[in-house]
Amino acid sequence: MKKSFYLLLLCVSFGYAQNSSTIESGKTVCQYSQTGKLLKWEDFKPSNGRMMATAIPCEIQNDKSTNTILISVVCMQTAFNQFGVDKINDMILVASEKVRNSLRADHLYNPKEIKMAYMPDSHDWSLTSSFTIEGEDGIVKEQLLAIDFDANGKFAVMKRIL
């Protein structure tokens, strides 16, 4: 059943072909829909037994606008080989959706940066999401949320960081 779901998800993602372009600095800009990819295998670089993707700009469709967000991921190479880029992207998408759904309907969500790390002691993943919200009164507030995933990559908890 699980494999069938992943096969269906793969087929759907092929339907929404990922467009990719290059910005002035030469880094890849990822464009995706809710079912598309954020990061690619090539975005990760090995470093002392770890795999790192540092400040990769990606474009997120947010209501009627497009936001550019920087994504950074660091994890052990063994965890990267076990989980793969697709699972990391799934966790990022789930976290982004959880953050968006935690806000009031009258707030405008503007994501800025996501940083994700693998915790080798507990085999859990921790993600921080930096974003701004704008209320209907026009006041913009910066927010930071921490989202944790268990050893299987399933959502565990979301916490507000002061």
Q: Find where tokens 């063994």 sit.
A: 78
Per the structure, the count of domains in the chain is 1
Tokens representing 16 are: 């929404």
d(CA 61, CA 96): 11
At 70 the pLDDT is 94
d(CA 148, CA 95): 9
Residue 3 in any domain: the answer is no
Residue 1 in any domain: the answer is no
Residue 142 in any domain: the answer is yes
Residue 33 in any domain: the answer is yes
Q: How far is CA 48 from CA 45, 52, 99, 122, in A?
A: 10, 10, 32, 20
At 8 the pLDDT is 47
Mean pLDDT in runs of 10 for the chain (162 residues)? 52 40 39 57 94 89 75 95 92 88 87 95 95 91 95 94 77
pTM of the complete model: 0.74
Q: Tell how strand 50-62 and strand 45-47 pair up.
A: antiparallel
- The 3-class SS string of 3-67 reads HHHHHHHHHHHHHCCCCEEECCCCCEEEEECCCCCCCCHHHCEEECCEEEEEEEEEEEEECCEEE
At 73 the pLDDT is 96
Residue 10 in any domain: the answer is no
d(CA 96, CA 94): 5
Residue 59 in any domain: the answer is yes
The domain in which residue 117 lies consists of 18-160
At 67 the pLDDT is 77
Single-letter code of the amino acid located at 136: E
Residue 145 in any domain: the answer is yes
Residue 6 in any domain: the answer is no
At 1 the pLDDT is 63
At 155 the pLDDT is 96
